[in-house]
Structure 1
Amino acid sequence: MDFLKTIMLDKKIGATIRKIEDLNEAIHHPNIGTIFLLGADINVLPSIIKKIQADNKILMVHLDMLEGVGKDKAGIHLLARMGLRGLVTTKPNLVKFASAEGMTVIQRLFVLDSESVKTGIKMASTVKPHAVEILPATVPRFVIQDMKDALGIPVLGGGLLKTEEDVRLALSKGIDAVSTSLRHLWDMYY
């Protein structure tokens, strides 16, 4: 699968949504193809999935922040039956379960120091997500390159992006795409 084409829809910026009330703005934004949902519960998820799919956008749900569903194999099976096609998680066992259900999976990694880079690479090498998202997106160039060299999958960046220059710098360091909740950054063209 060409992750950047099929999931990011050849766009460099994805919209991060923390509150359901903000969803419509992302759905109707012409520059946004992918929506990263960081806050919701199982009761509203079916309508969100339907709405986003009807608008030909891609939904990636951060499972660790989804309320009302088990963070286990059965919970992921339920999400797949609901029609959810993409997950973001920090938990390696959930990457495996979601992949087995045919979902696209992003492994989220927090980069705190050199050891966390090594651990993240080792973990992602084992569970084989479709992409990794590193936080913060402001990491040094060598971190991004090390991840790409070791994993051979796209590296997304999230967190600590405040200005257009921050986004440009992250992308210039090799990050393939970013996710952000800041609306003014959604207006950037790439």
Structure 2
Amino acid sequence: MDFLSTVMKGKRVGATIRRVEDLSEAMLHPNISAIFLLGANINLLPSIVKKVHGDNKVLMVHLDMLEGAGKDKAGIHLLARMGLRGLVTTKPNLVKYALDEGMVVIQRLFVLDSESVKTGIKMAAAVKPNAVEILPATIPRFVIQEMKDSLGIPVLGGGLLRTEEDVTTALAKGIDAVSTSLRHLWDMSFD
């Protein structure tokens, strides 16, 4: 599966949505193909999934921040039955369960120091997500390269991106795509 063409649809910027009320703005944006939903309630999820998929966009729900869903194998199975096709999580066991359900999975890794880089690579190598997202996106080039060399999967970046220059710098360092909640960064085009 080619994550960058299937999920990001060739775009380098994905929309991070923290409140369901803000979802329509991302859905209407012509540069946005991938929507990363960081806050929602499981009761709203079926209608969100239907709406986003109906607009031919890709929805990636951050499971760790989803209210009302069991953070276990049964919870993942329920989400798959609801039609959800993509998850983001920091938890390796949930990556495995979601992959078993046929979902696209991003493992989110917080990079604080050299030890967290090693631990992140080890965890991701064990469960084999479709991509990793590293936070913050402003990390050194060698960290990105080490992740790519070790894992052989796309590396996304999120967090601490405020300007177009921040995004351009992150991409120049080797990050394949970024996710951001800042609307002015959604306008960036890399054609």
TM-score with structure 2 length normalisation?
0.99
1:132, distance to aligned residue in structure 2 (A): 0.1
Q: Which residue of 2 aligns with 1:78?
A: 78
1:161, distance to aligned residue in structure 2 (A): 0.1
Matched, 1:36 2:41: no
Q: Which runs of 5+ in 2 are unaligned?
A: none
Q: Which residue of 2 aligns with 1:127?
A: 127
CA distance, structure 2, for counterparts of residue 62 and residue 20 of structure 1: 13
- Equivalent AA in structure 1 for residue 23 of structure 2: L
Q: Which residue of 1 aligns with 2:143?
A: 143
Q: Which residue of 1 aligns with 2:99?
A: 99
CA distance, structure 1, for counterparts of residue 189 and residue 69 of structure 2: 36
- Equivalent AA in structure 2 for residue 67 of structure 1: E
- Equivalent AA in structure 2 for residue 155 of structure 1: V
Matched, 1:87 2:87: yes
SS of the residue aligned with 2:56? coil
Which 4+ residue blocks in structure 1 deviate beyond 4 angstroms?
Answer: none
1:28, distance to aligned residue in structure 2 (A): 0.4
SS of the residue aligned with 2:107? strand
1:107, distance to aligned residue in structure 2 (A): 0.3
TM-score with structure 1 length normalisation?
1.00
Matched, 1:172 2:145: no
Superposed CA RMSD: 0.3
1:83, distance to aligned residue in structure 2 (A): 0.3
1:5, distance to aligned residue in structure 2 (A): 0.2
CA distance, structure 2, for counterparts of residue 104 and residue 21 of structure 1: 24
1:89, distance to aligned residue in structure 2 (A): 0.1
Q: Which residue of 1 aligns with 2:5?
A: 5
- Equivalent AA in structure 1 for residue 179 of structure 2: S
Question: Matched residues, percent identical?
Answer: 81
1:128, distance to aligned residue in structure 2 (A): 0.3
CA distance, structure 1, for counterparts of residue 109 and residue 71 of structure 2: 18
SS of the residue aligned with 1:51? helix
SS of the residue aligned with 1:112? coil
1:6, distance to aligned residue in structure 2 (A): 0.3
- Equivalent AA in structure 2 for residue 134 of structure 1: I
SS of the residue aligned with 1:134? strand
Q: Which runs of 5+ in 1 are unaligned?
A: none
Deviations 1:161-186 (A, max 9, x none): 00000000000000000000000000
- Equivalent AA in structure 1 for residue 142 of structure 2: F
Q: Which residue of 2 aligns with 1:66?
A: 66
Q: Which residue of 1 aligns with 2:51?
A: 51
